[in-house]
Amino acid sequence: MAGTAGGRPGGALTRRASAEQPGPPYLGSAENPVRPPPRTPTVQGVQIYEIHIRGCAGTDAALALQEPLARLLCPVEDHEGPCEVPWGFTLRDERAEEGEAGPERVLVLGIFASAEQAAEVVDRVRAFVGAAHPVVLGEAATDTFDELADQYRIEQGLGPDPA
């Protein structure tokens, strides 16, 4: 549902982007036996992807992109049924590009999609934000968007995650 996973309009807008605190990266079991590497939940050939929208001048600038991107993904705010591609937002502090000082505030759009759908969403996001905001697609780096897989399972009548 929208309020929990941001997969429907209003979900991301109601919960807004969460400001994740920077923490230690997933280091793998040899380097950090307490925190295992993340797993990317997959269901029926779809998985969680993260789209990092860089070049934001700070938290306010990153949050200002959230509403228009939500409408880009889901133009009809109160549509019936689930979104074709479940989605949600968060904010992260990431390492700045080489030559820049301090961490960079990044808007992260999580989607649960096939590789083809993810590529289509990235193309739409890039076209919308333009060259001022580099857009990078990758697999989920944390468990932040695992709820999108749960949402998909429920909406498709597949039941809870068997893991």
Domains of the chain: 2-20+39-155 (3.30.70.60)
Place of tokens 């009809």: 76
Other C-beta atoms closer than 10 Å to the C-beta of 116 total 10
Q: Which pair of structure tokens corresponds to residue 44?
A: 């029926």
Question: What is the per-residue pLDDT for 16?
Answer: 35
Question: What is the per-residue pLDDT for 154?
Answer: 82
Angle between helix 59-73 and 115-129 (nearest 10)? 120
In the chain (163 residues long), the average pLDDT of successive 10-residue segments reads 38 37 37 47 79 93 94 87 88 76 87 94 96 93 86 78 61
Q: Which residues contact 94 (CB under 8 A, 6 or more apart)?
A: 52, 54, 103, 104, 106
